[in-house]
Structure 1
Amino acid sequence: MSFFFNQAKKFFPSEAAQKKAGLSVAGLVMLVVVCVLATALAGPGIRFAPVIYSEGEISQNTVRALQDYLVVDEEATLQRRREAPNLVPSVYDLNGQAMEQSLQLLTESLASVFEPPVSGPETAEKQPVSPPSAGKIAQTFRDRWSIVISGELAQTVARAEGRKELYRLVGENLRPYYERGVVANRDLLMREAGRGSGVIVKDLQAGEERPLSELAGTVDFDTARSELLGSPAKSATSLEKLSGILAAELLRPNLAFNQEETALRRKSAAESVSPVYYQVRRGEIIVREGDKVTADQSRKLAGYVKDTGNDGPVFLQNLGLFLSLFALCLISYEFGKQNIKKVRTSPRDLLFLSSLFILLLAIQRLGMYVGVRLEPDSAEIIRFALPMGAAFIVARMVLNSETVIVFALPYIAAASVCAGLESGFFLPLIAGGLLGGHFAGGAYRRIDFFRIGAIIGLVQAFAVTLILLQKGTLFTPAAPWPVIGAFFGGVLSAILGMTLVPLAESAFGYTTDMRLMELASLDHPLLKDMMLHAPGTYHHSVVVGTLVKGAAEAIGARAVLAMVAAYYHDVGKVAKPNYFIENQPCAKNPHDKLSPSMSALILTSHVKEGVEMAEKYKLGREITDIISQHHGTRIMAYFHEKAQAQAKPGGGGEVSEQEFRYLGPKPQTREAALVMLADVAEAAVRSLQNATQPRIQGAVQNMINRVFAEGQLDECDLALKDLHKIARSFTHILTAMHHHRIDYPAPVSKDKKEDGDMDSKRQPEGGRGRTEAGPEGHESLKRLGI
């Protein structure tokens, strides 16, 4: 994996370049590959939906419902659709102007007899009748209605008063029938009304509808006509008889069956019938292996696939999921890069997050597949029992919380799709995962993982309880199982996280806090060698570690990384310990016999040798980088000035500063800068003759200002306010280390005690302290075997 990463790194821009530019072409390609793999693992094409067998096919496997769902009852739905039209009332159109139209027809028929024509009863009184009008009237009745009237009756009709009376009598004969309702076929009306839904009367003129409540009052057209005629003979000698015959001839049905409107309403009612469903319970066997599939089983299979969201074209579903994941990943990446300062977007980090993403999805996919195949009823338990929260733990321990937030969005989306969106899986994953990532930031020991697992488990169990409460299934017999599964899922997440963190360290070269705590142990070979061969350097490194730990906590840097890096920052001095002042107990300095350039070469070599030792013992990239950066490009002023003094008599020679500078690079991180500052501050304070608090504070501030003025901190992310916090922290710790003690006198011999001059040097009463061993003291040491 390390080889693969080193090769892949060539195709990615640096992290700084990525901050300025967008995602590189290689990064986009990797993003596409990740989204394709995630779609293949979580997409609907590989979900556990059964095959939809047609009626008559032989089932190749036993299919059991993994959740409750509804299936359309085709027969019941069809029956309801057949019954729906019978509940729709028949529509009859009512002509409210039928009587006016009949009288208008009578008026128009008689109008041709008179000159000028008579238009109605109102004008009939005013029109004079010519002598032949009576004959014309009789002829008109005979031609138009086949009615034979007497001459006397014709004369009566010819007069205006007679016509007016005739109109009145005809209207009185027609009115009762039109008010009751005249239908062409009363049997049809009764048959439509007998369907159970009644009859609706639609007034064509008013546009209103009302139920026909008095069916018995309606009259058949033929019946009404017969009643008006009275006798088959169509001859009249009186206005009463003539009016009855005319009413029969003028009568028209005013209530007509609207077959088209009725059919349209009944069709709409049938189409609006909602499907009838019946429920298939979770765990119910839909079809057994080897059975011939029935129509009902085929419908159940189709309903199950539809309910689980797998009824559409698989390609389009997968394409939609791929595009959604791609957009979410790209948006999350750009948002984090532009708006979150500490988000990690280096090629190594992206490759690690992608690998973690796909690995956890593969575990989820495999776990659900195997679990469902072994026990179909266990899907609800397995869904929540899988260790999906491990991704948050690992990402937080390897990277940081800011990167975890950006990573969480696409990861939660893909895992929720894989588990089934209808399950509400995202809620326990968000709650448990983010909380687990929070506590993972302070995990240094193996036992911490079990505490984190218990916390994640409890949070996930509570989240699943809320889901069941929302679904209304909290108090069912099956409710405890997913809750229990969620708790064990949290525990398994911590166990898997504890396993994956060392793998991430090994494969990608990360150094986590847990690994750093292992490196801080005195049992490490490098620290043992330093303690034995360079004790002064070891003591100096421990003090520097104490300084940087306190300062890192003050400015919010990685305190553990800074402390452990400080322990190893001078490990290269083990190769030549006597050439460094802290390891020269007898005040014999070998540099006195060396030229300044050779001394500078030896001093700079400890950085190179330290890097080589760090790589040999696999201390990790972060520590190795700090070792190479902890001196930056500072100049060794003592040997540079010495070289200038020796260059020519009189000191006029030119000496290159570059020969007396460390090779760098300058500190790139806050932790590396802390080690540099603590290194020079500790050395400066140790050189003080009288280390009082003001002098310590002055020395610390002077060294920090000097390093800052030299530009050694230009490439790291330290602010001026951070430097003030660092100075205060260094001063506080160094003052505590260099505290003063009372100078206790040694005990005097018996004969000297008689000398009065020694009384003033006696220890004050009640004082205790360290004293040099006198004769009696030596006897005590002998008894202890020393």
Structure 2
Amino acid sequence: MGKTLDNVYKHQSLAYKYFLYLVSVALIVFFFPKGGKFKYEFQKGKPWQYENLYAPIDFSIKKTEVEIADEQRSLLDNKTDYYTFDADVPGNVKKALQTDLEGFFAQSSYPESQQGVIMTAGLEVIDSIYGVGVFQDLPTSSSILLVKNNEARPLGANSFMDLPESKKRVSGILSTKRTPAKEVLETLIIRTLEINVFYDEALTERALEEELSKISFTRGEVSEGRLIIAKGEVVEAENFKILNSLKEEYESELWRGDNYYFILLGYTILVALVLIMLFLFLKRYRTEIFQNNNKVTFIFVNVLLMVLATTLMVKNNESYVYVVPLCILPLILKNFFDARLGLFVHVLTVLILGFVVPNSFEYIFLQIIAGIVTILTASELYKRANLFISVGQITLIYIIGYFAFHAIHEGNLENIEWVLFGVFILNGLLTLFAQPLIYMYEKIFGLISDVSLLELSDTNSKLLKELSEKAPGTFHHSLQVANLAEAAANEIGANAMLVRVGALYHDIGKMSKPTFFTENQITSVNPHDDLPPKESAKIIVDHVINGIEIARKNNLPDRIIDFLRTHHGTTLVFYFYKKQQELEQEVNEKDFRYPGPIPFSKETAILMMADAVEAASKSLKNPTYGIIDEFVEKIVKGQMQANQFLNANITLKEIEMVKKVLKQKLTNIYHLRVEYPE
């Protein structure tokens, strides 16, 4: 049982990776839209590269969204407006006119025969006016139906009038009649007229919805066995529509029944292959990252987020799939790790998404090109302008790529979907979210970015200020080492900002007992003179351990603490070791050796060389170029013979380049000035 538990503990890191791998595969397949994948790839304007294609089933030719939208727009533009006729209004108007005329006749001297003529003329005018009716508002539509007595009948363009127009019409009608008291009759009729035709919005909308519901989403049928397209034939507009209809029918039918499990199995295998490539890349070329479960989790979380965002967009509105800022992925991974890893993960993520996005070739091409541009242009993100410039270039690549594909598919620049330009701009704006996202990831995963390194390199920070006050000599030494290490890192293409920050903090452990280190001794009194060599060595060695404790209390990132742990590797405190040998023959080297570990990166190796060279250079008297050259060679050679660089991914050529920079910098530091006369 004990051995079993030991094996579990030994392999728990690997077990976690297996678990992460399986969960990631399951989640990605779960995110995928539920549908099969058409087995043929085709593009408008390109030749059909497969054998003659015959219809495998009966299917309908579906109209495109543009065609359906045009039909809907046509119905909206030519919709019929419905108006209702109030039949009670004409009778009420007649009664009101009769009453008014009777009152007029009572005060006038017109004989009864003329009164009858006037009354008849007035009623005829009202009948004429209300033959069609008086509209509340003049219609603007060309198609009008008047609902009268539950019967809808069309009206001509000039057959309707509103209240002002009807009042004008009264005068025209009366002018054709030989009627006494025309002026009085006209006044009374105009006063009694009322509106009786009203726009029926509910009926109009109901009729429009009924017409819209009659729109067919298909146009024609394709029978099983019919030749759809021959090999080598160019996919033109009509064939393209038929192929798209077959593709939709095929993918919707394929997911049903027992096919479901086979499709699920296929997706699972393909996604599993892609993710296993990522694991193999990390294990082979990024061993440090592979061994760190936190960093592996960080990479997989970013991949899953991009897949989730894209698949959600495909399910909701695939036309806006480019809104998802996929270039955030290489941007963030390059910021925390390196460009090669960022591009590799980006390409694998794009390949996964190629299973589900429409126009997969176009999508994969544009996203890979945009990812390459991101890797090539995005640098020094702590400079705000650089991110804006990079995002601008990414957006431009999307726009140029869209133009090129549109020209290939359509053969012209007509029918460009200008809304896609807004989509690409929105993609660029969302990519700017990389900056706050980097800060969030730093806090969640304990990683460190260039922005944080820039903040840590500020010599006015609390910890460095404390170092300058308690151990000014060590602070000055750290500044010198930082300059040497940064120059060397730039020479061999290492992370100069990281090594500079590591150099600034590498000796903070000396703050515990600053006077026990020569650079902080301002008098000739050396406290080591009163201590045995073994105890002195312990104080010197302990500055590494003390530094790690101080760094952890001040929440320094682990990548910076690595410099504290490795800057002396497993070397000897040689001076006190030799003094102890003078006192006794049998000396335990372990008591005089730093605990390690040895450097495991280019940056930590550079710091070890720069630190040793700068510290030892203080003992040089009257240095010349030859003395400096021999001095640097001796120190670095001693470190190499002690196997201090075995775990660091630094080559012999790069070590030679570092030595060259160190010699040049020390020569500049110790360059003798001309002695000025007093």
**TM-score clears 0.5:** yes
Q: Secondary structure at the match of 2:63?
A: strand
1:728 and 1:13 mapped to 2: Cα distance?
Answer: 44
Q: Indicate whether 1:279 and 2:63 are aligned.
A: yes
Deviations 1:104-123 (A, max 9, x none): xxxxxxxxxxxxxxxxxxxx
Deviations 1:221-273 (A, max 9, x none): xxxxxxxxxxxxxxxxxxxxxxxxxxxxxxxxxxxxxxxxxxxxxxxxx9999
Q: Indicate whether 1:411 and 2:349 are aligned.
A: yes
Change (3 A) 1:523 1:361: farther
**Aligned partners of 2:35 and 2:255 also within 8 Å:** no
Partner of 2:645: 713
Q: Indicate whether 1:351 and 2:306 are aligned.
A: no
Change (3 A) 1:344 1:474: farther
2:210 and 2:11 mapped to 1: Cα distance?
Answer: 55
Matching residue within 548, 559, 563 for 1:611: 548
Alignment of 1:336-735 (within 5 A): 337-338=283-284, 340=285, 344-346=289-291, 347-367=293-313, 372=317, 379-380=318-319, 382-422=320-360, 424-472=362-410, 475-493=413-431, 495-645=432-582, 647=583, 652-735=584-667
Bigger Cα Rg:
1
Matching residue within 248, 254, 267 for 1:312: 254
CA positional deviation for 1:440: 2.8
Alignment of 1:159-308 (within 5 A): 277=61, 279-282=63-66, 284=68, 296-297=216-217, 303=245, 306=248
Amino acid paired to 2:342: V
1:569 and 1:474 mapped to 2: Cα distance?
Answer: 63
**Aligned partners of 2:62 and 2:245 also within 8 Å:** no
Matching residue within 247, 272, 275 for 1:329: 275
1:438 and 1:739 mapped to 2: Cα distance?
Answer: 39
Amino acid paired to 1:410: L
Matching residue within 28, 31, 44 for 2:18: 28
Partner of 1:743: 675
Change (3 A) 1:37 1:321: same
CA positional deviation for 1:327: 1.4
CA positional deviation for 1:724: 1.3
Instruction: Give unmatched runs, 5+ long, in structure 2.
Output: 1-7, 38-42, 45-53, 73-207, 222-243
**Aligned partners of 2:382 and 2:451 also within 8 Å:** yes
Greater CA drift, 351-360 or 411-420: 411-420
Q: Secondary structure at the match of 2:254?
A: coil
CA positional deviation for 1:732: 0.6
CA positional deviation for 1:656: 1.6
**Aligned partners of 1:644 and 1:653 also within 8 Å:** yes
2:371 and 2:537 mapped to 1: Cα distance?
Answer: 52
CA positional deviation for 1:703: 0.5
1:497 and 1:546 mapped to 2: Cα distance?
Answer: 30
Change (3 A) 1:583 1:317: same
Amino acid paired to 1:572: G
Change (3 A) 1:490 1:578: same
1:307 and 1:467 mapped to 2: Cα distance?
Answer: 26
1:322 and 1:291 mapped to 2: Cα distance?
Answer: 45
**Aligned partners of 1:565 and 1:627 also within 8 Å:** yes
1:308 and 1:562 mapped to 2: Cα distance?
Answer: 57
Partner of 2:40: none
2:9 and 2:437 mapped to 1: Cα distance?
Answer: 26
CA RMSD of aligned residues (A): 3.5
1:289 and 1:618 mapped to 2: Cα distance?
Answer: 65
Change (3 A) 1:336 1:586: closer
Instruction: Give unmatched runs, 5+ long, in structure 1.
Output: 1-8, 15-23, 48-67, 70-269, 373-378, 747-786
How many residues get paired? 494
Deviations 1:310-361 (A, max 9, x none): 44216344432222111122235435644x5789433333211110011122
Amino acid paired to 2:63: Q
1:450 and 1:541 mapped to 2: Cα distance?
Answer: 34
2:288 and 2:330 mapped to 1: Cα distance?
Answer: 15
**Aligned partners of 1:509 and 1:620 also within 8 Å:** yes
1:321 and 1:669 mapped to 2: Cα distance?
Answer: 39
1:700 and 1:391 mapped to 2: Cα distance?
Answer: 42
1:473 and 1:344 mapped to 2: Cα distance?
Answer: 48
1:45 and 1:344 mapped to 2: Cα distance?
Answer: 36
Greater CA drift, 586-595 or 473-482: 473-482
Q: Secondary structure at the match of 1:588?
A: coil
Amino acid paired to 1:593: D
1:633 and 1:366 mapped to 2: Cα distance?
Answer: 53
CA positional deviation for 1:383: 1.7
CA positional deviation for 1:705: 0.9
Greater CA drift, 566-575 or 582-591: 582-591
Amino acid paired to 2:68: E
Amino acid paired to 1:472: E
2:381 and 2:588 mapped to 1: Cα distance?
Answer: 49
1:343 and 1:603 mapped to 2: Cα distance?
Answer: 29
1:311 and 1:273 mapped to 2: Cα distance?
Answer: 11
CA positional deviation for 1:701: 0.8
Deviations 1:570-627 (A, max 9, x none): 0111222111111112232221222222211211121111111222222211111121
Change (3 A) 1:274 1:416: closer
Change (3 A) 1:616 1:364: farther
1:300 and 1:603 mapped to 2: Cα distance?
Answer: 89
CA positional deviation for 1:469: 1.9
**Aligned partners of 1:390 and 1:497 also within 8 Å:** yes
1:733 and 1:622 mapped to 2: Cα distance?
Answer: 26
Greater CA drift, 554-563 or 313-322: 313-322
Change (3 A) 1:423 1:483: farther
Partner of 1:247: none
TM-score normalised according to structure 2 size: 0.66
**Aligned partners of 1:446 and 1:498 also within 8 Å:** no
Deviations 1:266-290 (A, max 9, x none): xxxx999998846333383699999
Change (3 A) 1:28 1:553: same
Deviations 1:645-667 (A, max 9, x none): 3x3xxxx4422221111111111
